[in-house]
Structure 1
Amino acid sequence: MNEHVQTTTSAPLFNPLAPEFIRDPYPHYERLRTTDPMHLTPLGMFVASRHAEVSLVLRDKRFGKDYVERSKRRYGPQIMDEPVFRSMSHWMLQQDPPDHTRLRGLVVKAFTARRVEDMRPRIQQIVDQTLDAIEAKGRMDLIEDFAFRLPVTIICDMLGIPEEHREVFYNSSRDGGRLLDPVPLTKAEIEQGNASNLMAQMYFQQLFELRRKNPGDDLTTQLVQAEEDGSKLSNEELTANIILLFGAGHETTVNLIGNGLLALHRNPDQLALLKANPALTTNAVEEFLRYDSSVQLTGRVALEDIEDLGGKKIPKGESVLCLLGSANRDPAVYPDRPDRLDITRPKIRPLSFGGGIHLCLGAQLARIEAEVAIATLLRRLPDLRLDDAENPEWRPTFVLRGLKRLPASW
């Protein structure tokens, strides 16, 4: 690695786990876009920060995931013996066709626009129950007490996790995000990942048994039946993808709601506008996605030599890290003050849900959850204010951008 050591003493252009980067990555992105839009990091990865290159890489068939080879290149061939890496290698999120096509085809029906729209009354009910239970207290942590409960309950509903098992999920720690960061994991972090993965596997194996005996109208039943068909899904794939759906089904939505509420309270004019005009909520959610995306980065690997991407040659097998949060503020696409929150902004098409074949399955579900949660909170607790909008506590992860806590009172 030492030939890559930076010769200058200046701070690296891309240092995503630095506290100041986590607190506010956007000035760093602007520097990347203007000075080195296809930046080569000391670890040999390319970092794409402009909208043009990011959107191209997400949709171009010459790029894929190549997860196993990429992980071996970074950690050595023995890395696939680590249970957490083996599990992640089966995630549809990390697969290329044809496996990706087969796995996604098994679950896509549960996430159609129609199915998700039908869940709106249930989403409203959960938000109302959450607020009913807390309204009299006069204060709460908007992350743990509010934003977290809704998506966890919905994904438990969808996966057929019985009511009496859910308490453990409401109280589980949210520290899995580090596994996705583009900074190599330490031995201790891998051990921690293995332990969490084992716990999840043990739980879901029990759930599979339950759903084999008592089938329900849920995704787990659907996948267990596909597994019994033999050709469609192995047990290892079944387990890994349920773990993926559970995590992906709440982590990012919690952050979308939290980051959106923080942005509103940091921009009181926009907060007042949304309270006065709740019909703007749908567009406001698109703007929250653009303005402070809950997923900041997604990676692809060049499956062949790429002659020219933003002026750089990308050799086969090298990684391109696509900075979604940076692309979302690219003035080439959002000429009207991209660093400003504007819930009336026209033609918002955030890249926060990725793109191409891996476009987020739950995009529409996340939008509706955020819409209902934020609109209901503003309607029912109109005088809610944050304890400290200026210095909130961010979680120490970069790819999944979100707050540790967000205390508020009314």
Structure 2
Amino acid sequence: MESHRYVVAMKALRGLYIHIPFCPQICPYCAFASLRGVDYLHERYVSALCKELSVWSRQYRKNPLQTIFIGGGTPTQIDPSLIGKVLEAADYAFGMCTDAEITVEANPSTVDREKFSKLRSVGCNRLSLGVQSFDNQALKKLGRVHSSEEAERAFTSAREAGFSNVSVDLIFSVPDVAEPVWQGSVNKAISLQPEHISVYALTIEEGTLFARREGEGSLVTLTEDDDAMQYEWTRNRLLDSGFKQYEVSNFAQEGWVSRHNWGYWTGAEYLGVGLSAHSHIGGERFWNVKDIEAYMQRVEENISPEEGRERIDVQTERRERFWLGLRTSQGVFLSEKELAVLKEHEHMNQCLKAEYLTLKKDRVLLAEKGWNIADGLAVKLTNILEDGSEVITQCV
């Protein structure tokens, strides 16, 4: 791919993201690159993925991957043998650590015990199950094609197939879904005893069906107060059930943190391949085209699938370090200058007294009351560091 600017700083590549865009149905809240009704493209697309990986292998010294995340879309929409083909290409290109975490996302409507067994046989050892809710009415409102019964059956089948590392994804703040219904889904997920649970607030993304409905007035989202109440109840319920919170939306049993996602939150470099995939390497962020025909044709013709690229300047790097790091249980490591500025700022002291934030030697991290407002707190901190004289009427 001679026209591609594949030359980047040669640092050890830690994580690989592989995008599989195919879906049984496009969810009304989904803004990711996804397609339905094009099963005939599966093999051609996977061949393009393998070729893109091959090109990247020429730019990196052999340094075994620590994590691989196969997302979408719905990766389990394609045959497991094709996923195996991509994993073989990744292994040939970069190598894999013997204990590499290899996650595959799964939609309950597209899997059974046999498919899970095949996914295990091609190398997948972690499953991210897109349940979203264990209530059929809530699933219908979210436009999901599976039922609550199928979701539970999928989890059981995954266990029977040998998956010992399973994450369950849930969505809260769904309009017209009563609080007890959401609580029932959380309790059901806990009862299954997964190693990991992710809980995400429903967000209305531009260009989605939900965004159009909201614009028309036919979809009314929850208030910030109601959203906060659901989050706080959920957080407390998961903590009381033995889960450890390591990021605002992510909870894990002891020893089962998602290593791939932890890399995202802590600034690790990663490569993304496939349709619309993003990468963060060598102080740059770049991404592929979003049109599948353009992606495949470019790769087949030895032309870069890259659509855009940006250099991460010092200010952006610091902002992202705070925006991402503050969401984690680790917090943000501070330079001596940053620590000194924050300690002397009255609004930082307000946040400490209000138990939104805490300081531990060279780190700032969320205190008990700060988890639900992490993003706002990160903005406040970067504002203080960039302009200590900025007028901020209150901590949050």
TM superposition score normalised by structure 2:
0.22
TM superposition score normalised by structure 1:
0.22
Higher strand share: 2
Higher helix share: 1
